Structure 1
């Protein structure tokens, strides 16, 4: 793709359910149910979506209680658009929003896939180990 960043449409809203599910699969992220996606997207604290020629090509969301605990999730860029700075732009907008709107001492977390952890470190994120260990539970996989 030969589009420049200025030719992309950036929105501060979550994507639609179908395009969200499709982008997750195209990026190799674990699938989600349609029901779960509808609920989750509607409860986003903040979201950034990126479109090229009307198609969703990238996204990122912040979820949480809006005060004490926030989590960055769903940072993804379609493979044919990766390596063009889109992921970094999405992440920068998420972090800028947090810096402008989150109260002091808000704990912001994320789960970093390798090699994306190197991008997140550029924005000041640190590994939790050895002080803590990330854990998860998947309901009815």
Structure 2
């Protein structure tokens, strides 16, 4: 297994397959075009490959100065717990730090807080500012 990381937009079909295979699209129900367009608008992204197969992905939405939001950190199930997600996250955080962005936030999948805490992230306090509009 030789994992390579590329700062390039993955193939539309491969990314859609990754999104579908991992169950991420179950709730969202995005089509390939929507998913590709959203991904294409990212401030920064990183794709992980085993040879030529897309096995992981992560991206950042940011203003490039103050705030960055890490989203869509996805790794195929049979590649999880092998350091790939950690490497993707480290590369995303490093990009923020290189650009001197201090406010780095993320949305965490249910049950995954331990993974992010291991990498220095902390839960926002209950009294912290911020709100979310629930999906319909």
TM-score, scaled relative to structure 2: 0.84
Residue 21 (structure 2) pairs with residue 26 (structure 1): yes
User: Against the structure 1 CA distance between its residues 37 and 91, is the aligned structure 2 distance closer, same or farther, given a 3 Å change threshold?
Assistant: same
Question: Match of 2:69?
Answer: 71
Question: Match of 2:6?
Answer: 11
Residue 125 (structure 2) pairs with residue 129 (structure 1): yes
Uncovered stretches (5+) of structure 1, i.e. residues with no partner: none
Report the Cα offset of residue 53 of structure 1.
2.6
User: Against the structure 1 CA distance between its residues 91 and 17, is the aligned structure 2 distance closer, same or farther, given a 3 Å change threshold?
Assistant: same
Aligned residues: 132
Question: Match of 1:120?
Answer: 116
TM-score, scaled relative to structure 1: 0.82
1:47-126 to structure 2, matched below 5 A, reads 47-103=45-101, 106-126=102-122
What's the CA shift string for 1:73-123, capped at 9, x where partnerless?
1101101111111111111111111111134xx422211124322121123
- In 2, are the aligned partners of 1:64 and 1:70 still within 8 Å (CA)? yes
User: Against the structure 1 CA distance between its residues 113 and 38, is the aligned structure 2 distance closer, same or farther, given a 3 Å change threshold?
Assistant: closer
Following TM superposition, where does structure 1 have runs of at least 4 consecutive aligned residues deviating by more than 3 angstroms? none
User: Against the structure 1 CA distance between its residues 81 and 109, is the aligned structure 2 distance closer, same or farther, given a 3 Å change threshold?
Assistant: same
1:38-53 to structure 2, matched below 5 A, reads 38-53=36-51
Uncovered stretches (5+) of structure 2, i.e. residues with no partner: none
What's the CA shift string for 1:17-71, capped at 9, x where partnerless?
2211110111121342223223212211111111113110001101122122211
User: Residues of 2 paired with 1:39 and 1:47: CA distance?
Assistant: 13
